[in-house]
Amino acid sequence: MLKFVTRLLSALAVLSLVSGSLQAAPVGYSIDVTTFYQFDSPPDLTFSDFGTAAPDTGFWRVTNTGTTTFSGTIGQNAVAGDGIDFSYSHAVTLAPGASVVFAVNEESSNHLGYNGPFGSTQPGVEIFLTGLFDGTEAVTLSVFDRDIHSGVPRLNPLGETLDSYVLQGGSAFGGDTFDDFEVTQTPGRFQFVERIPEPGTLLLAVLALVGIAGARRRAVR
């Protein structure tokens, strides 16, 4: 009987710790980033601090595909190869299902690339989110244009075969690939995701660990 009570108290102590951990645990999120290049502005364009398609330019969309609400800052770091800083950001609240669209500038393929010297492989425009999910989980998320892939590699007019760098026209070193190529790029896609296990699943795992610990104590005796 004493052994049973001891094990029960141990299990309750572990469950108490788990309960406390669950209260402070991450809430989870799913954020999709899409890059695309086109003539004119998309109908859902939200921000265009440095102008929009003249006649064509790169755009990027952030969509909350999860069940938690993001509130904070969304923006781009984009220091062009020609020396112009096109970085900007805005305070945004994204409820589940909501999205925002940013224009890089007036013609993003004509500024010799971004965040690296022209003629070398560049990181490209950096897209970032800094803030909170459901008011509790702090995040700093970012991704570069080079890492946002379409899954459809193409040979560009400059001899590069790529499926990324959509925002700077599909060239890794910032060269001009010309309108016909730029606007026919397949959109790039990237996802920031944090999955949270079901509470019941975590509870079963804890109970299993308690059982294993008890079995080990018996084996030692």
Number of structural domains the chain divides into = 1
Percent of the chain at pLDDT above 70? 79
Provide the pLDDT for residue 18.
43
Provide the pLDDT for residue 198.
72
Rounded to the nearest angstrom, the gap between the alpha carbon of residue 43 and the centroid of all alpha carbons in its chain is: 23
In a domain, 15, yes or no: no
- pTM across the whole model: 0.81
What secondary structure does DSSP assign to 12-62, as a single string?
HHHHHHHHHHHHHS---EEEEEEEEEEES--TT--B-TT---SSEEEEEEE
Those residues with Cβ within 8 angstroms of residue 18's Cβ, 6 or more apart along the chain or in another chain: 202, 203, 206
In a domain, 108, yes or no: yes
For residues 216 and 144, which has the higher predicted lDDT (pLDDT)? 144
Provide the pLDDT for residue 25.
83
Band (pLDDT 50/70/90 cuts) for residue 214 is low
For residues 173 and 217, what is the distance between their CA atoms, to the nearest angstrom? 62
In a domain, 149, yes or no: yes
> Is the pLDDT reported for residue 77 higher than 80?
yes
Q: What is the mean pLDDT of the chain?
A: 87
Provide the pLDDT for residue 6.
46
> Is the pLDDT reported for residue 203 higher than 70?
no
Averaged over 56-74, what is the pLDDT?
98
In a domain, 23, yes or no: no
In a domain, 207, yes or no: no
What are the pLDDT digits (tens) for 142-184?
999 999 999 999 999 999 999 999 999 999 999 999 999 999 9
In a domain, 102, yes or no: yes
Averaged over 85-99, what is the pLDDT?
98
CB atoms within 10 A of CB 186: 16
What are the pLDDT digits (tens) for 113-143?
999 999 999 999 999 999 999 999 999 999 9
Structure tokens at 24: 């402070």
In a domain, 63, yes or no: yes
Domain limits for position 146: 29-194
3-state secondary structure (DSSP) of residue 103: strand
In a domain, 6, yes or no: no
> Is the pLDDT reported for residue 218 higher than 90?
no
